[in-house]
Amino acid sequence: MTKYPKKIDEKMKAYNEKHAQVDNTRSLAVEAVRAAREYAEEQYRKESPKKLEAIESAKIAYLQSVADFASFKNELASLPFEIARETVPTALDSVGPPSIPEIAWTYRQHVESDGNKYMIFPDEVNHAVKEFEVKRFSRV
């Protein structure tokens, strides 16, 4: 038997004790369901702001990390150009620009693709909301 919060458990106990009395069964069931509804609504009002705040914080942290990576990559890519400009600009012709791979942010047709590793896609969010689980490679 599932363990319910005390308030709901008391209503369920009363329902079970009176189950044989057909006249009171429905009203006792309604009371138990009402207690469960009130408990659910109260818990939602109490806990949902904290959970939504955690989601918002994670989203901001994720986007800050993406922006930090883009800035990091840009700084490294531009470094040889800056040094060449400050010294002998044609020196870059002998060396070439740095070989820094592009990130294929939206490509996700392979399990190890950049998109699957680093992005969050709507179908992944929908799966988490509807199925209550994280499915990392939702298109693979």
106 shares a domain with 93:
no
Alpha carbons 129 and 140: distance in angstroms, whole number: 19
Interacting residues of 135 by C-beta distance below 8 A, sequence separation 6+: 124, 127, 128
Q: Which domain holds residue 113?
A: 101-140
Residue 61 covered by a domain: yes
Residue 60, in any domain of the structure: yes
Angstrom distance (rounded) from CA 5 to CA 16: 16
**Does 1 reside within a domain?**
no
pTM summary value: 0.71
- Residues 30 and 91 occupy one common structural domain: yes
- Whether 121 and 60 share a structural domain: no
- Rounded Cα–Cα distance for residues 123 and 7 (Å): 38
Looking up tokens 């040889």, which residue turns up?
A: 80
Residue where a domain terminates, one of 68, 84, 100: 100
Q: Give pLDDT tens digits along the chain (140 positions).
A: 567 888 888 888 888 777 656 656 788 889 999 999 999 999 999 999 999 999 999 999 999 999 999 999 999 999 999 999 999 999 999 999 999 999 999 888 887 888 888 999 888 898 899 999 988 754 54
Q: Dump pLDDT digits (tens) for 19-43.
A: 656 656 788 889 999 999 999 999 9
Residues 89 and 25 placed together within one structural domain of the fold? yes
